[in-house]
Amino acid sequence: MLGLKLPRPNVPLWVRLGVPISMIIALAIALISFLNHSNYEKTYRQLNVSRITVVARDLRQAIEVGLNVGLAPTNNTQLDKALAAAKDHTEGLRFAVVIDAQGKRLVEVGGAAPNQGWLKRLEGIGEESSWLGEDADTYQVGLPYRNSFGITVGAVILGYDKAAIDRATAGTRLTLFANWLAAAVLLTVLTLLGVWWITRPLESELAQAEGALADPLSGASIPPLQLPLLGPQIERGISDFVRQSHAVQAAMAEVPKRSQ
Amino acid sequence: MKRLPRQLILLTAMLLAVAAVFVSVRGAQHFEESLTAQALAVERTIARSMIDVIQKALLHDIPFDGLVGAEGYLEAVKRDNPGIEYIVVSDADGRVRYSTDLGKVADPDLLQRSIAQLKAEGTARVGKYFDTSTPIVHKGSTVGRLHLGERANIVEQLLRDIAFDIVTVLVVATLVAFELVRLLLAASFSTPLRALQDFFARIAAGDFRLSLGRDFFGGIGRLNRPLNAAVAEINSRVRSLTMSGRPPPAGFAFDTRDERETLRVNSVENIRWPFFLLIFSESLSLSFFPIFVGQFYDPSFGLPRHVMIGLPIALFMLIWAVAMPVAGAWCDRIGYRRAFGTGAAITTIGLILTAYAGSMLELLLWRSLTAVGYGIVYVTTQTYITLNMPTSERTRGMALFMASFFAGSLSGAAIGGILVDRLGFSMTFLLSGVLSATAALYVLRFLRREDGKLMQKRGLGVADFKLLLRNKQFAVITFLSAVPAKVALAGFLYYSVPLYLKGLGHNQSITGRVMMAYGLAIILVGPLVARLADRMQGRWRFVMVGGYIGAIAMAIPLFVGDTLGAALAVVGLGIAHAVSVSPQFTLIGDRCTDAIEKVGQATTVGIFRLVERVGNITGPILLGAMIALMDFMGAFVTLALFTFVSTTAFTLLLLWFDRKPAELKPA
């Protein structure tokens, strides 16, 4: 009678389960690292915004002092110097611009891109004392300034280089990646060990069941199975399967005799 | 067989916790160094700004000892910079000349002694503070020093500010990881085990026609290969037999036409994962959607900005609700596999088109399309769970549905908010579309076709509504339990709590975190309670207990004030709904069998979900009116009383129905 022999799959259960579980844990901690980095970057950015807000307040004060004595920003000779000094002394500051209530640039140092939506921000500021914005290259802080009657007549806008933040946070990104890699490698080893330990009994039962099903058409009877994890239904099912296969074979062998 | 997956889940949980703590602690150590340096840079900038002012005064020949109003100026600077704990101006000998109020500083004596000794420029640790000392130079000589103090635990404070974010991150990562592990374990153990059991039952009856599905996971499905090979060999020999003109052996069934049909079993896990994925994908836009809509604001519509922003959200909710009964009737006709696939495909198209929306009208159209798909998927999933869970485990099935919904929703909202910062609106919507398409493909690939089980019925009709609503038990469960639960959800949680917390001075992120507790309670408590409800007889008791817990929860702010009271109420409402909402539909299945058979399972789900949305609509209106008439506390107590009364009426009527079984039949 023709037998049916199949090679056993060579990847054990603990690897098949352990590898995806390790990958899931690695994915989860990558997600944690990614989200933590986002929080870190946000905090870092806020600290930088706080820093340039201090500088912006000084500039606003310089403008308002000038306005109080009748000096418009364009005529305030100290303002150019103050803006230049602010840019020179503030690390990462890309530009400082003073605009009027119509959005026209009055005094400017550094390279601010054209077509910024500052006028819209100034008009919509309401009771707020500042606004935060950004363009492709900079994070921006805008502070409106008022004349001696308390009317908002313009704003001072400082742009902080995004690339400077990227450079500063790149080190942290690398550290977090190294931490993630170390954790992922260690956890993969631990997961594989743990899964191997937990699945040993099942592996042994599956090997037993595979042994019983290795050649079910050979006609040989199978040894009694002990499959407490797979359960009595499977235990009985395998025996029934082998028995039914034999019965089919026997019935097929009977068929030609009957037709002759 | 349940022990092994549990052990693996425990192992995963332990390793995930260790890994999460490791990367978070190591990350925090690095953050400390980097953020402290940044925080001190802010101090140095403030110091430079102040010294400029002091030096200008000195240049005007104002003596260093006679700076009038100096302390007021220092206080103003401290007020503008909340991170600063003290500002001190000392003379060249280190004696304090001007300072902010040092009364609140920990150990002012130590501070004064240290200032006397700190001569060098830079930052030094003074007790609990980092002291940044900067010389005040006038005409080439140092006349004094400016000291700015910031708490030394800067990062601890910053981390405390983002502690909830970190917890959110951990929760989200855990939810996503466990959904994936569950899928893996189901694919490795429970699903192939059920398939094997079905297969062996057929073989025992002599049926050799079906083979088992191909296994990719190497778990129990490993046995499929030798079994399939044996069945294929037997069928091949039988075909050879029949081709030679002899009959196949009697008493057996074989695949004589070489059709190679595969036996597929339906397990709840098969739909749980794609459902989670779809809810996750749709929820990616939750956190930024109002900002996204704001881009399309057009004053020519003649509507205020906040109304325009709310319009796509309201329309989405409306279409979602209306789509459900129609989708249910459709699902009964074409089957949940095709219905889910179509729903997910429509959602995908809606999300992708949303990414390219160029005007408010386009946005409204694409969001409506997304809502139709979403509604189909929502109803189909519930129907699938109801039909594929044994009757004795249906409450657990419904709890799993709710847990998946909230897990997907919470994770999606949290991750979407961060993704949009990096990817932008359009790319995030496109990513949502890709994930939603993955859900559709998964279902089409892995869900069994339900040929022969479909209902031959026309589309949804008024008669379906009439038949269900005239059923007394359906009406009692829907109007006295489901609708009040939705009134509480929409009126209390979604409408009143944000307003109440805003009134307490909290921002949106605090509100979001408090409200997140509701979803977490559902995810954590729901499946546990549902298991208990399935084991015990009388699921209606869980609906009753949940109703009373909800009533007590909403009254909590009356006894516990401030944020804690609101948070406890939200958690309490989450627990209440975890206990009562899952058994609601199971209870309908238990008590309204005749009506469901006539109307159809999915149609019943759709109508039930549509009717309960009466609560979603009326909740905010009722609470808004009550808050206007009374105050928050009055409104909360009234809602708690309303829930108490409706739960009591529900209980009494069900007891009455059980005493008069003759009246249980639908009218």
Give B157's contacts (C-beta < 8 A, 6+ positions apart). B151
For residue B662, what pLDDT band results from cuts at 50, 70 and 90?
low
For residue B57, what pLDDT band results from cuts at 50, 70 and 90?
confident
Per-domain boundaries in chain A: 13-170, 213-260
Interchain pair B38, A48: CB under 8 A: yes
pLDDT above 70 as % of chain A: 94
What's the sign of the alpha-carbon dihedral B499, B500, B504, B508?
negative
Partners of A194 on chain B (C-beta within 8 Å) are: 11, 15
Phi/psi for A225 (5° steps) reads -100, 145
Closest CA to A4 of B225, B111, B497, B295: B225
By CB atoms closer than 10 A (0-12, 13-18, 19+), residue B655 is exposed
Answer yes or no: is pLDDT of B569 > 90.
Answer: yes
- Chain centroid to CA A67: 48
Question: A106 CA to chain B: closest CA distance, Å?
Answer: 23
Answer yes or no: is pLDDT of A235 > 60.
Answer: yes
Could you report the per-residue pLDDT of B97-120, keeping only the tens digit for each? 898 888 878 778 888 888 887 777
Interchain pair A13, B219: CB under 8 A: yes
Q: What is the mean pLDDT of residues B316-329?
A: 85
Could you report the per-residue pLDDT of B358-375, keeping only the tens digit for each? 888 899 999 999 999 999
- The mean-pLDDT minimum among B318-322, B453-457, B492-496 falls in B453-457
Interchain pair A255, B246: CB under 8 A: yes
Beta bridge partners of A97: A108, A157
Q: How far apart are CA B608 and CA B588, in angstroms?
A: 9
- Chain centroid to CA B154: 32
pLDDT of residue B582: 83
- The mean-pLDDT minimum among A80-89, B127-136, B486-495, B529-538 falls in B529-538
Beta bridge partners of A100: A154
Angle at B273 between CA B269 and CA B274, to 5 degrees: 120
B2, B15, B80, B255: which to substitute to probe chain A, counting the most A Cβ within 10 Å?
A: B15
Measured from the Cβ of residue B264, the count of other Cβ atoms closer than 10 Å reads 17
Name the residue of chain A whose CA is nearest to B207's CA: A244
Partners of B21 on chain A (C-beta within 8 Å) are: none
Answer yes or no: is pLDDT of B511 > 80.
Answer: no
Residues 402-441 of B with CB under 8 A from A: 414-415, 418, 421
Question: B488 CA to chain A: closest CA distance, Å?
Answer: 33
Answer yes or no: is pLDDT of A6 > 70.
Answer: no
Phi/psi for B296 (5° steps) reads -95, 5
Interchain pair A39, B199: CB under 8 A: no
Is B284:B415 a contact under the CB 8 Å cutoff?
A: yes
Question: A213 CA to chain B: closest CA distance, Å?
Answer: 6
User: Which of A13, A32, A234 faces B169 most closely, judged by CB atoms?
Assistant: A32
Answer yes or no: is pLDDT of B443 > 60.
Answer: yes
Put simply, whether B45 touches A (Cβ < 8 Å) is: yes
pLDDT of residue B159: 65
pLDDT of residue B449: 65
- The mean-pLDDT minimum among A216-220, B16-20, B152-156, B604-608 falls in B152-156
3-state secondary structure of B121: coil
A252, A257, A259, A260: which to substitute to probe chain B, counting the most B Cβ within 10 Å?
A: A252
Residues 320-339 of B with CB under 8 A from A: none
Answer yes or no: is pLDDT of A219 > 80.
Answer: no
| Radius of gyration of chain B measured on its C-alpha atoms | 33
Give B575's contacts (C-beta < 8 A, 6+ positions apart). B521, B525, B549, B553
Is B373:B347 a contact under the CB 8 Å cutoff?
A: yes
Is A249:A217 a contact under the CB 8 Å cutoff?
A: yes
Name the residue of chain B whose CA is nearest to A256's CA: B246
Q: How far apart are CA A169 and CA B38, in angstroms?
A: 11
Token digits of residue B563? 């944020």
Question: A201 CA to chain B: closest CA distance, Å?
Answer: 10
- Chain centroid to CA A90: 31
- The mean-pLDDT minimum among A2-6, B103-107, B221-225 falls in A2-6
Cβ-based contacts under 8 A for chains A and B: 245
pLDDT of residue B667: 43
Q: What is the mean pLDDT of residues A32-46?
A: 82
Put simply, whether B79 touches A (Cβ < 8 Å) is: no
pLDDT of residue A213: 86
Domains of chain B by start residue, with CATH: 3-152 (3.30.450.20), 186-263 (no CATH), 268-448 (1.20.1250.20), 465-658 (1.20.1250.20)
- The mean-pLDDT minimum among A9-23, B332-346, B652-666 falls in B652-666
Interchain pair A16, B218: CB under 8 A: yes
Q: How far apart are CA B13 and CA B20, in angstroms?
A: 10
Question: B49 CA to chain A: closest CA distance, Å?
Answer: 7
Interchain pair B220, A230: CB under 8 A: yes
Q: How far apart are CA B294 and CA B288, in angstroms?
A: 10
| Radius of gyration of chain A measured on its C-alpha atoms | 38
For residue A2, what pLDDT band results from cuts at 50, 70 and 90?
very low
Partners of A134 on chain B (C-beta within 8 Å) are: none
Q: How far apart are CA B83 and CA B63, in angstroms?
A: 30
B418, B421, B423, B513: which to substitute to probe chain A, counting the most A Cβ within 10 Å?
A: B418
Q: How far apart are CA B179 and CA B345, in angstroms?
A: 22
Q: How far apart are CA A208 and CA A227, in angstroms?
A: 8
Q: How far apart are CA B429 and CA B433, in angstroms?
A: 6
User: Which of B8, B184, B226 faces A213 most closely, judged by CB atoms?
Assistant: B226
Put simply, whether B39 touches A (Cβ < 8 Å) is: yes
Q: CA separation (Å) from B177 to A257, B7, B189, B286? A: 61, 16, 18, 21
Answer yes or no: is pLDDT of B224 > 80.
Answer: yes
User: Which of A2, A35, A255 faces B241 most closely, judged by CB atoms?
Assistant: A255
Partners of B184 on chain A (C-beta within 8 Å) are: 17, 20-21, 24
> What is the torsion angle, in degrees rounded to the nearest 10, for the CA atoms of residue B1, residue B7, residue B9 and residue B12?
-150
Q: How far apart are CA B267 and CA B196, in angstroms?
A: 13
Could you report the per-residue pLDDT of B13-44, keeping only the tens digit for each? 899 888 888 888 888 888 877 888 888 888 88
Which DSSP symbol is given to B253? B
Which DSSP symbol is given to B221? G
Closest CA to B84 of B150, B38, B139, B27: B150
Angle at B18 between CA B17 and CA B21, to 5 degrees: 85
A10, A31, A217: which to substitute to probe chain B, counting the most B Cβ within 10 Å?
A: A31
Answer yes or no: is pLDDT of B172 > 60.
Answer: yes
Q: What is the mean pLDDT of residues B390-402?
A: 81
For residue B220, what pLDDT band results from cuts at 50, 70 and 90?
confident
Angle between helices A162-213 and A13-68 (to 10 degrees): 170
A27, A39, A44, A240: which to substitute to probe chain B, counting the most B Cβ within 10 Å?
A: A39
Name the residue of chain A whose CA is nearest to B49's CA: A58
Q: What is the mean pLDDT of residues B574-595?
A: 85
For residue B465, what pLDDT band results from cuts at 50, 70 and 90?
confident
Q: How far apart are CA B500 and CA B590, in angstroms?
A: 39
Q: What is the mean pLDDT of residues B236-249?
A: 85
What average pLDDT is seen over chain B? 84
pLDDT of residue A9: 55
Class of domain A13-170: alpha beta
Q: How far apart are CA B255 and CA B203, in angstroms?
A: 13
For residue B568, what pLDDT band results from cuts at 50, 70 and 90?
very high
Put simply, whether B4 touches A (Cβ < 8 Å) is: yes
The amino acid at residue A241 is F
The amino acid at residue A61 is Q
Question: B45 CA to chain A: closest CA distance, Å?
Answer: 6
Is B397:B365 a contact under the CB 8 Å cutoff?
A: no
- Report the DSSP pairing between strands A138-146 and A131-134: antiparallel
- Buried-state track B537-564, b at ≥16 Cβ within 10 A, e below 16: eebbebbbbbbbbbbebbbbbeeeeebe
**pTM of the prediction?**
0.74
Q: How far apart are CA B261 and CA B330, in angstroms?
A: 27
Put simply, whether B51 touches A (Cβ < 8 Å) is: no
Higher-confidence residue of A63 and B33: namely A63
Token digits of residue B492? 């209390």
- Report the DSSP pairing between strands B141-151 and B129-138: antiparallel
Partners of B38 on chain A (C-beta within 8 Å) are: 44, 47-48, 51
Give B482's contacts (C-beta < 8 A, 6+ positions apart). B581, B584, B608, B611, B612, B615
User: Which of B18, B23, B30 faces A32 most closely, judged by CB atoms?
Assistant: B23
Q: Residue B139 — left, alpha, or beta (φ > 0 → left; ψ -120 to 50 → alpha)?
A: left
Q: How far apart are CA B131 and CA B88, in angstroms?
A: 10
Partners of B222 on chain A (C-beta within 8 Å) are: 9, 13, 206, 210
Answer yes or no: is pLDDT of A256 > 80.
Answer: no
pLDDT of residue A257: 54
Q: How far apart are CA B118 and CA B94, in angstroms?
A: 7
pLDDT of residue B161: 60
